[in-house]
Amino acid sequence: MADRADKAVGPSAPPTTPHLVCRGVKKRFGGVEALRGVDFEVRRGEVMALVGDNGAGKSTLMKAIAGAYLADDGEFFLDGEPVTITTPFDAADLGIQIVYQDLALCENLDVAANMYLGTEPVQEGWHFLPRILRPLDDLLMEKKALAAIDRLKVRTLQSVRGKVGGLSGGQRQAIAIARAVGADSTVVLLDEPTAALGVAQTEQVLDVVRTLRDAGHAIVYISHNMADVFDISDRITVLRHGGNVAIYETAETTTDEIVVAMTRGLDKGANNAA
Amino acid sequence: MQPDKAIKTEAMQIDKAPSMGFADRLRVMRESQFGAFVPVLLALVAIWLYFGITEPVFLSPRNFYNLFMQSAVVGTIAVGITVVLLLGDIDLSAAATAGVAAALMAVLVTNVGLWGPVACIIAIFVGIIMGTTQGLLIAYIGIPSFVVTLAGNLGFQGLMLKILGIHGAINMRDPFVRGITTVTFPPFVGWILAAVFVVGFMYVSLRRQARRRASGLELDSSASLYGGIIFFSLLAFAAVWTLNSYRGVPLLVVLLIGMTALLSWVTTSTPFGRMLFAVGGNPESARRVGISVQRMRVAAFGLVGMMAAIGGIVGASRYASVSFNAFAGGPLLLEAIGAAVIGGTSLFGGRGSVWNAILGALVIGSLGNGLDLSGASAADKLMFSGAILLLAVAIDALSRSKEGASR
């Protein structure tokens, strides 16, 4: 791993030290060992694809990083500092945000309301009322939502006042990403962001991911779609049977090599080969 | 569509489909600020026109006065039920809760000799406790609201009978309690109230528009802005004029509008309301952003308990007595749920408005009143009400499936 860390990766030559590092992450569900001591890292300003066959442990690893699962064992480092992640709130405090495959948007609320759900700003004054009964600062929410969407260069969105129920899949994905980024995050975990999308919609989401990367976020990208992975990622981490296979520089590998690594692993002693 | 939209930032390009179908237009309209009013308002106007032609006395100020008073009990409870419907839950015990609160208040006033306001406050408090208890069972034990409130309905009916004692009815002569529905304001006070309402509405709408312009945000179209102001001004003055030509604006109408305005504000303009809609729309995503779904449930059932108790007190005042049949045994519960649903509040959660519950109550009240005037039998009235309710739920289900298909 160390010999790869000193190479500049990606178009904007990001810092070479990893931003988030996980070492020896283990997770067991009853008799099933979902993660058998996985190492993982992602730098700022890069897209790290996380691939593997079904049951390889991608989602488990991601949820352990996001605090949705409590890892049985393993260490997490953020900018070299050891950190503990036990709940989603720990992860959010550390600037780690996850966008789940199902997006978790409320279709009956408008875009701005969805982006600030749970963290709505309230107007100044009104201190005699408990916080949840103070008037919402709608205008601030709309302004910040517009700014966040502008940053991601989502051009097809008509208005942040439209209900999410009326939007396309790509627009919803963009909003879910914008919501994750809006919360001062540095690490964004994307779980199959293009799985349900058509070609144009996929391109729109990939544009959003590129914009995020260029803004210096560390992005973890789970996907089954090799075309997307090669399109967007700077490096690729391959998992198999809950263990590491290898980390590849996207520019120096091929789809075939990745698929073989995913399905058969490397030669003997495949686990922890990287 | 609106010239003002051009002010928006560049990234917000408008590529609205040039031709929208009627159903899409309906949906877009329903999603706008006051648009959800329109279908139920049209229904109300149609009913008024029909009965106005067939029974001219229907449109007399005296009848309107009675109509408002008759609809007040249903309206109050419907406003409360709307809050739990927004969560996707239902409350089948609201009418029985109202009955218990009314019976308790009546006993406290007539048998114990408590001062009217104190008895009312105790009754409202008990209503809140009854609602909250059901909410706790639903949220923390995990029993469906349908079952808990069905059991609550039976239990509270029994409780009401127990409080009322063997006679089954208590007459209300307390001047404070009776005053809630008998006091009317002198005409000039009515005009002042209308003027205050109009000026307040204009101030809020125009200030909002000015602040949006100052922040460079997308503006409401002038048509909807000024149309809204003109419409609500006309409505306020027409209502006051009608009521003044009979007895004047009743205190009850002012109280009901005030309470509904307060609840409307809480449900649409506060973090609490936002959470309510979020839980109703997608409980899982609400949970993930840290909203306590359980606590929202308990709070919503506490609110419906409060509104039901207030409805019970209004009913006791209106009928000048508390009897089992007026609350628990009668059609009050179904009329209140029907009013909320006819108002456009979705039974599936996440969509609706407390104002519409008032309009829905007026629809049900007008139907009953008009059919009474035209000498329709109880059988006809029941069948008519059933058809209207079915129509309202069908519209809800259709607009919901449209939303699902519009991805």
DSSP string for B169-192: EEE---HHHHHHHH-B--HHHHHH
B380 torsion bin: left (phi>0), alpha (psi -120 to 50), beta (else):
alpha
Q: How confident is the model at residue A273 (pLDDT cuts 50, 70, 90)?
A: very low
Work out the percent of chain B whose per-residue pLDDT is above 70.
89
Residue ranges per structural domain of chain A: 2-264
Q: How confident is the model at residue B26 (pLDDT cuts 50, 70, 90)?
A: low
pLDDT at residue B82, rounded to an integer: 95
Task: Yes or no: say if B320 and B314 are a contact pair by the CB < 8 Å rule.
Answer: no
Sequence-distant (6+) residues with CB within 8 A of A56 are A239, A240, A241, A242, A262
Whether residue A136 and residue B211 make contact (CB cut-off 8 A), yes or no, is: no
Least CB–CB distance from A134: residue in B270, B278, B290: B270
pLDDT at residue B29, rounded to an integer: 54
How far is residue A142 from each of residues A138, A147, A150, B215, B219, measured CA to CA in Å? Answer: 6, 8, 12, 10, 12
Q: Using a CB-CB distance cutoff of 8 angstroms, which residues of chain A are in contact with residue B351? A: 108
Do the bridges between strand A73-78 and strand A20-29 make them parallel or antiparallel, or are there none, so unpaired? antiparallel
Q: What is the CATH number of domain B36-44+54-183+250-399?
A: 1.10.3470
Q: How confident is the model at residue B1 (pLDDT cuts 50, 70, 90)?
A: very low
Residue A268 has pLDDT above 70, yes or no: no
Q: Residue range A161-167: average pLDDT?
A: 83
Candidate from A200-209, A229-238, B73-82, B240-249 with smallest mean pLDDT = A200-209
Residue ranges per structural domain of chain B: 36-44+54-183+250-399, 185-249
Q: Please provide residue B387's backbone torsions phi and psi, each rounded to the nearest 5 degrees.
A: -65, -45
Angle between helices B187-214 and B222-244 (to 10 degrees): 170
Read off the pTM: 0.82
Taking CB atoms and an 8 Å cut-off, how many pairs form between chains A and B? 116
Q: Provide ipTM, 2 decimals.
A: 0.78
What average pLDDT does chain B have? 85
Q: What is the CATH number of domain A2-264?
A: 3.40.50.300
Q: How confident is the model at residue A8 (pLDDT cuts 50, 70, 90)?
A: very low
The 10s digit of each residue's pLDDT in B277-298 is: 999 998 888 887 878 899 999 9
Least CB–CB distance from A139: residue in B211, B275, B289: B211
Task: Yes or no: say if A137 and A148 are a contact pair by the CB < 8 Å rule.
Answer: no
pLDDT at residue B14, rounded to an integer: 36
Residue B92 has pLDDT above 60, yes or no: yes
How far does the CA of residue B194 sit from the closest CA of chain A (Å)? 25
Q: How confident is the model at residue A219 (pLDDT cuts 50, 70, 90)?
A: very high
The 10s digit of each residue's pLDDT in B104-132 is: 999 999 888 889 899 999 999 999 999 99
- Helical H runs in B55-144? 61-86, 94-106, 116-136
pLDDT at residue A270, rounded to an integer: 44
Q: Which one has a higher pLDDT value, B391 or B403?
A: B391
Least CB–CB distance from B289: residue in A117, A149, A156: A117
How far does the CA of residue B32 sit from the closest CA of chain A (Å)? 9
Whether residue B270 and residue A153 make contact (CB cut-off 8 A), yes or no, is: no
Q: Which one has a higher pLDDT value, A13 or A242?
A: A242
Q: Give the residue among B82, B128, B78, B89 at the shortest CA–CA distance from B294.
A: B89
pLDDT at residue B12, rounded to an integer: 37
Candidate from A175-184, A255-264, B194-203, B340-349 with smallest mean pLDDT = A175-184
